[in-house]
Amino acid sequence: MKFAIQINEGPYQHQAVDSAYQFAKAALDKGHEIFRVFFYHDGVNTATRLAVPPQDDRNLTKLWAELAEQHNLDMVVCVAAAQRRGMADEDEMKRNGKDANNIHPAFRISGLGQLIEAGIAADRLMVFGD
Protein backbone atom coordinates (compact mmCIF):
# COMPACT_ATOMS: atom_id res chain seq x y z
CA MET A 1 0.00 0.00 0.00
CA LYS A 2 1.14 3.54 -0.73
CA PHE A 3 0.74 6.05 2.10
CA ALA A 4 0.99 9.81 2.36
CA ILE A 5 1.44 11.27 5.82
CA GLN A 6 0.36 14.70 7.06
CA ILE A 7 1.68 15.97 10.40
CA ASN A 8 -0.10 18.97 11.92
CA GLU A 9 1.36 19.31 15.44
CA GLY A 10 4.72 20.39 16.80
CA PRO A 11 7.35 17.83 17.74
CA TYR A 12 7.52 18.53 21.46
CA GLN A 13 4.00 19.78 22.16
CA HIS A 14 2.04 16.78 20.94
CA GLN A 15 2.37 13.06 20.30
CA ALA A 16 1.57 13.44 16.57
CA VAL A 17 5.18 13.61 15.30
CA ASP A 18 6.20 10.56 17.36
CA SER A 19 3.11 8.60 16.30
CA ALA A 20 3.61 9.46 12.63
CA TYR A 21 7.27 8.44 12.85
CA GLN A 22 6.39 5.08 14.46
CA PHE A 23 3.66 4.52 11.86
CA ALA A 24 6.00 5.35 8.96
CA LYS A 25 8.76 3.13 10.33
CA ALA A 26 6.37 0.19 10.83
CA ALA A 27 4.78 0.65 7.39
CA LEU A 28 8.17 0.74 5.68
CA ASP A 29 9.35 -2.31 7.65
CA LYS A 30 6.29 -4.19 6.36
CA GLY A 31 7.13 -3.29 2.76
CA HIS A 32 4.66 -0.47 2.24
CA GLU A 33 5.58 2.73 0.41
CA ILE A 34 5.44 6.29 1.71
CA PHE A 35 4.81 8.69 -1.16
CA ARG A 36 5.38 11.86 0.88
CA VAL A 37 5.44 13.23 4.41
CA PHE A 38 3.88 16.68 4.60
CA PHE A 39 4.55 18.86 7.65
CA TYR A 40 1.78 21.40 8.17
CA HIS A 41 0.75 23.94 10.85
CA ASP A 42 3.02 23.51 13.92
CA GLY A 43 4.32 20.26 12.41
CA VAL A 44 6.74 22.38 10.36
CA ASN A 45 8.79 22.87 13.53
CA THR A 46 9.96 19.28 13.11
CA ALA A 47 12.14 20.47 10.23
CA THR A 48 14.32 22.91 12.16
CA ARG A 49 18.02 22.17 12.13
CA LEU A 50 18.56 24.41 15.18
CA ALA A 51 16.67 22.50 17.89
CA VAL A 52 18.88 20.84 20.50
CA PRO A 53 16.77 18.46 22.60
CA PRO A 54 18.21 17.28 25.93
CA GLN A 55 20.51 14.25 25.68
CA ASP A 56 17.94 12.00 27.35
CA ASP A 57 15.15 13.03 24.94
CA ARG A 58 14.50 11.92 21.38
CA ASN A 59 15.68 14.13 18.54
CA LEU A 60 12.70 13.97 16.19
CA THR A 61 14.34 15.99 13.43
CA LYS A 62 17.26 13.57 13.39
CA LEU A 63 14.99 10.50 13.51
CA TRP A 64 12.91 11.73 10.56
CA ALA A 65 16.06 12.73 8.63
CA GLU A 66 17.58 9.28 9.13
CA LEU A 67 14.37 7.55 8.08
CA ALA A 68 14.17 9.78 5.00
CA GLU A 69 17.74 8.95 4.05
CA GLN A 70 17.26 5.20 4.54
CA HIS A 71 14.05 5.08 2.49
CA ASN A 72 14.41 8.06 0.15
CA LEU A 73 11.37 9.82 1.64
CA ASP A 74 10.09 13.09 0.26
CA MET A 75 9.61 15.31 3.32
CA VAL A 76 7.84 18.57 2.53
CA VAL A 77 7.34 21.55 4.81
CA CYS A 78 4.41 23.85 4.03
CA VAL A 79 5.86 27.20 2.93
CA ALA A 80 3.09 29.37 4.40
CA ALA A 81 3.14 27.58 7.77
CA ALA A 82 6.94 27.75 7.84
CA GLN A 83 7.02 31.48 7.08
CA ARG A 84 4.52 32.19 9.88
CA ARG A 85 6.85 30.40 12.28
CA GLY A 86 10.07 32.05 11.14
CA MET A 87 11.41 29.06 9.23
CA ALA A 88 13.17 29.33 5.89
CA ASP A 89 15.40 27.32 3.60
CA GLU A 90 18.16 28.94 1.55
CA ASP A 91 15.82 30.02 -1.28
CA GLU A 92 13.13 31.43 1.00
CA MET A 93 15.80 33.20 3.04
CA LYS A 94 17.06 35.03 -0.04
CA ARG A 95 13.59 35.68 -1.48
CA ASN A 96 12.41 37.27 1.77
CA GLY A 97 15.59 39.20 2.53
CA LYS A 98 16.50 37.23 5.65
CA ASP A 99 20.04 36.65 6.87
CA ALA A 100 19.76 32.99 7.91
CA ASN A 101 18.00 29.72 7.19
CA ASN A 102 17.02 26.98 9.60
CA ILE A 103 15.52 24.08 7.64
CA HIS A 104 17.31 20.74 8.00
CA PRO A 105 18.58 19.55 4.58
CA ALA A 106 16.48 16.36 4.75
CA PHE A 107 13.35 18.52 4.39
CA ARG A 108 12.22 20.81 1.59
CA ILE A 109 9.81 23.73 1.50
CA SER A 110 6.89 23.73 -0.93
CA GLY A 111 3.20 24.54 -1.10
CA LEU A 112 -0.12 22.86 -0.46
CA GLY A 113 -0.12 21.49 -3.99
CA GLN A 114 2.35 18.89 -2.71
CA LEU A 115 -0.20 17.76 -0.12
CA ILE A 116 -2.95 17.56 -2.75
CA GLU A 117 -0.70 15.54 -5.06
CA ALA A 118 0.20 13.20 -2.19
CA GLY A 119 -3.47 12.65 -1.38
CA ILE A 120 -4.20 11.79 -5.01
CA ALA A 121 -1.14 9.56 -5.55
CA ALA A 122 -1.41 7.59 -2.30
CA ASP A 123 -3.87 4.85 -1.42
CA ARG A 124 -4.31 6.42 2.03
CA LEU A 125 -3.59 9.83 3.52
CA MET A 126 -2.79 9.42 7.20
CA VAL A 127 -3.25 12.60 9.26
CA PHE A 128 -1.55 12.97 12.63
CA GLY A 129 -2.71 15.79 14.91
CA ASP A 130 -5.63 18.18 14.75
What is residue 49's DSSP assignment?
S
Judge whether 5 and 37 are in contact, CB under 8 Å.
Answer: yes
Average pLDDT score, the chain = 96
Point out the catalytic residue in the list 34, 63, 78, 81.
78
Confirm whether 48 is a catalytic residue. Answer: no
Count Cβ atoms below 10 Å from residue 108 Cβ, excluding itself: 16
List pLDDT tens digits, range 20-65: 999 999 999 999 999 999 999 999 999 999 999 888 889 999 999 9
Question: What is the reported pLDDT for 93?
Answer: 87
Q: Which fold has domain 2-128?
A: Hypothetical Protein Ychn; Chain: A, (3.40.1260)
* Cα gap 70→15, rounded to integer Å: 23
Judge whether 47 and 92 are in contact, CB under 8 Å.
Answer: no
Q: Where are the domains of the chain?
A: 2-128
pLDDT reading at 117 higher than 90: yes
- Ramachandran bin of 4, using left for φ above 0, alpha for ψ from -120 to 50, beta for the remaining angles: beta
Judge whether 101 and 88 are in contact, CB under 8 Å.
Answer: yes
